[in-house]
Amino acid sequence: MTLVTLKDVLQPALKNGYAVAGLVTLGWEEMRAYVAAAEAENCPVILQAGPSCRDHTPLPILGKMFRHLAEAASVPVVAHLDHGYTVEDCRIAIDSGFTSVMFDGSRKPLSENITETAAIVEMAHAAGVSCEGEIGFVGYSGGEGSAGTNPDEAAQFARETGVDAMAISVGNVHLQQDKEGGLDMDRIRAIEAVTEVPLVIHGGSGVPVEQRSALARGSKVCKFNIGTELRMAFGHALREAVNHDPSRFDRVQILKETHDPVVTATRQVLRAFKGA
């Protein structure tokens, strides 16, 4: 069994100069492909259940799916709740066998975010589970704008919450389909100068691959969340499979044809985060 916590994979990454991918899942097909890709690349992987995934499949089921894959995997696998917005979200995830939870209080005032995150950290640690927090709201492409993380507030947040990882807002945007954005390196350097906590980039699909690699090898950014990029790979493969033979109706046969393309795309993502 290679089910591990977020801290288990991020502390070695911080020490040895690489990053771990937090891969956003929507269903069984992606999960399976992500683990297969991680095994092929011989690196750890974080399976993430975000809000849209949870809307489709209940957390107790997702926990069993993640753990089933981890138990058979040859590489470390983290079962991670992405963007939990309430104590109840995080409690259900912990009770469902997740090994890591992310509480997103980034829209709240700093003092409230710290207080609520610290309470969830305490609950998670008591259960042997890791906790990621967010300071500085990360917005959405075509939607809410990002609020850049203040380095002094980041230092206070890390110190007073005890989080195992800290998501920051440094020019990153969720759901970005191109890789032309780039991150604010000066802000990243200012944040990492005042904390030892592993840093997390949400909206990693919008970050140029060269910058992903440079940060993985030369900063305290130890986790990149990748969703949109791999959703696009899955969607393209699914469209090709459906259009290849419009008379087919067995979704199991159709979905099987998404596996290899998603594995290939995921392996390319994972390679960028490896050490020098």
Contact criterion met (CB below 8 Å) for 186 and 177: no
Residues 212, 181: Cα–Cα separation, whole Å? 12
Residue type, 148: G
Give the pairing of strands 3-4 and 45-49: unpaired
Note whether residue 245 is domain-resident: yes
pLDDT of residue 204: 81
- Over residues 120-131, the pLDDT tens digits come to 999 999 999 999
Q: What are phi and psi of 22, to 5 degrees?
A: -95, 105
Alpha helices in the chain (DSSP H): 6-16, 28-41, 51-56, 59-72, 87-95, 110-126, 151-161, 185-192, 209-218, 228-244, 251-256, 259-271
- CA neighbours closer than 13 Å in the CB half-sphere of residue 97: 17
As for how many domains the chain has, the answer is 1
| Positions marked catalytic | 82
pLDDT of residue 183: 85
Q: What is the dihedral of CA 263, 268, 270, 271, to 10 degrees?
A: 140
Residues of the chain with pLDDT below 50 are 178
Note whether residue 214 is domain-resident: yes
Domain harbouring 142, CATH code: 3.20.20.70
Q: What are phi and psi of 199, to 5 degrees?
A: -95, 150
Note whether residue 276 is domain-resident: no
pLDDT of residue 48: 98
Radius of gyration of the chain from its Cα atoms, rounded to whole angstroms? 18
Note whether residue 76 is domain-resident: yes
Note whether residue 120 is domain-resident: yes
pLDDT of residue 148: 82
pLDDT of residue 43: 97
pLDDT of residue 70: 97
pLDDT of residue 146: 63
Note whether residue 237 is domain-resident: yes
The domain containing residue 86 runs over which residues?
3-269
Alpha helices in 24-109 (DSSP H): 28-41, 51-56, 59-72, 87-95
Residues 121, 81: Cα–Cα separation, whole Å? 13
Note whether residue 145 is domain-resident: yes
Note whether residue 275 is domain-resident: no
Contact criterion met (CB below 8 Å) for 170 and 207: no
